[in-house]
Amino acid sequence: MEKKEEKKPKRTGLGRGLSALLSDNMENSLSQTTVSTDFMARQDPSATIGSTSSLPVEQVEVNPFQPRTYFNEESLKGLSESIKTHGLIQPITVRKLGYEKYQIISGERRLRASKIAGLTHIPAYIRVANDQGMLELALVENLHRDDLNPIETSLGYKRLLDECKITIEEVGNRVGLERSTVNNYLRLLKLPPEIQIGLRDNQIQMGHARALITLENIDTQLWAYNECIKKDLSVRKVEKLVQEIQNANGDKPKKTKLPDGALSFEMRRIQSQLSSHFGTKVEMQVEPNGKGNISIPFYSEDDLNRLMELINP
C-alpha cells in the first residue's frame, strides 16, 4: 500500500526566510507568468527559472531597487581575491527579464567583486518576482547582512515602510526585531547628514548617535559630534557631554566663528547630502562670492559607471 506523503506544517516567523515574503498575491502572479516563463525557458534552455545556472556577467543588470548605494572598494577587492582563489561560493539571485537578460534580486556586491576578479560567468539562482515583490525581497535580503552600517539598515527600514506600505511592527516581523529596535534605527535618519555620514563611515558608533539625537538643536548636535571626533570620545563620554549640555544651557548651541575657507552649516549640509547620494566622500570648495567647485572621486571604471547612473538615471 502506497504511503501518503504527510503535509509539512507551514513555517512561520524568521525560520521561513525569504519564502515568507511571497504573499498570496505574488503566488497568483507566479501562476499567471507560467506560460511566458516557459516560453523564455524554451528560447533560452541553458537558464531555467527555478534552477541554478552559470550566467555570463554581461547578461546580468543591477537591481534598481538595491537599497545599498555604497560599496567599500577595499572590501570589494578583498572579496575579489577570495573569488579568484576559491570561486564564488554563494550564488547571486536574479529574475529573468527576457532572452539572455537578467536582473539582480540580491548579490550585487558579489557580482561587482566577480567582475573585478575577471570572471566571465557567475552562478545564479533564477526566479520570478514582480517589481513590488522584488523590492521587498531585495530589502529584506539586504537587511539580513552582517556588514551593513546603521544608516544602511535605517534606510532599508524606511524604504520598507514607504515603498512596501507596511507598518513598523510588520517591518520588525520581517527582520525578526522588536518594534522599538526598528524605531531606534529610524530615528537615526533625523540626524544631520554630516552625522549620518560619520555613522555610515564608522567614525562614530550607533551608541554615539543615539546620545546625540537626544539634543534637539541641530547646531548643538553638530558641535557635540565634532567634539566627539576631535577628542575620540567613547560612547559613555558622549552621553556625559550631552547630559552636561542639557543641564547647563537647555540645549543651546555654542556660538563659534567659522575659520577661513570653512564651509557654512548650509554648505556642509549640501555636501553631506551629495556624499550620501553618491555613496562616496564629495569635496566642496566655496568662494565668498558664492562660486565654487564640487569634486566626486571614483576608484574604478565600474565605480565611474555607477556614478554616471546616479547622475543620469
Q: Mind listing the pLDDT tens digit for each residue in 70-115?
A: 777 888 888 899 888 878 877 888 888 888 889 888 788 889 999 9
Domain match, 28 and 115 both: yes
Domain match, 64 and 121 both: yes
Looking at residue 30, which CATH number applies to its domain?
Answer: 3.90.1530.30
In a domain, 179, yes or no: yes
Q: Which of 62-66, 155-159, 242-246, 298-302 has the lowest mean pLDDT?
A: 62-66
Domain match, 70 and 83 both: yes
Domain match, 174 and 273 both: no
Q: Per-residue confidence at 155, pLDDT binned at 50, 70, 90?
A: confident
In a domain, 1, yes or no: no
In a domain, 254, yes or no: no
Residue 265 pLDDT > 80: no
Domain match, 32 and 114 both: yes
Specify the pLDDT at position 3. 47
In a domain, 57, yes or no: yes
pLDDT (tens digit per residue) in 266-282: 677 788 778 878 888 88
In a domain, 11, yes or no: no
Domain that holds residue 242: 191-249
Domain match, 24 and 126 both: yes
Task: Give the residue from 68, 64, 73 showing the smallest Cα distance to 304.
Answer: 73
In a domain, 283, yes or no: yes
Domain match, 195 and 185 both: no
In a domain, 181, yes or no: yes
In a domain, 140, yes or no: no
pLDDT (tens digit per residue) in 25-39: 334 433 333 334 344
Domain match, 43 and 87 both: yes
Specify the pLDDT at position 88. 84
Q: Per-residue confidence at 47, pLDDT binned at 50, 70, 90?
A: low
Domain match, 183 and 200 both: no
Which triple of cell numbers denotes residue 266? 548650509
Looking at residue 216, which CATH number applies to its domain?
Answer: 1.10.10.2830
Pairing relationship of beta strands 101-106 and 60-61 according to DSSP bridges? parallel
**Number of domain units in the chain:** 4
Domain match, 124 and 195 both: no
Specify the pLDDT at position 37. 39
Strand order across the 60-61 sheet: 52-56, 121-127, 92-98, 101-106, 60-61
Domain match, 118 and 37 both: yes
pLDDT (tens digit per residue) in 223-237: 999 999 999 999 999
Residues annotated as catalytic are 108
Q: Which of 3-17, 27-41, 163-177, 198-212 has the lowest mean pLDDT?
A: 27-41
| pLDDT above 70: percentage of residues in the chain | 72
Q: Using H for helix, E for strand and C for coil, what is the string for 200-250?
A: HCCCCCHHHHHHHCCCCCHHHHHHHHHHHHHHCCCHHHHHHHHHHHHHHHC
Over residues 47-76, mean pLDDT:
76
* Helices and strands (H, E) in the chain, number of each type: 14, 7
Specify the pLDDT at position 261. 54
Specify the pLDDT at position 134. 66
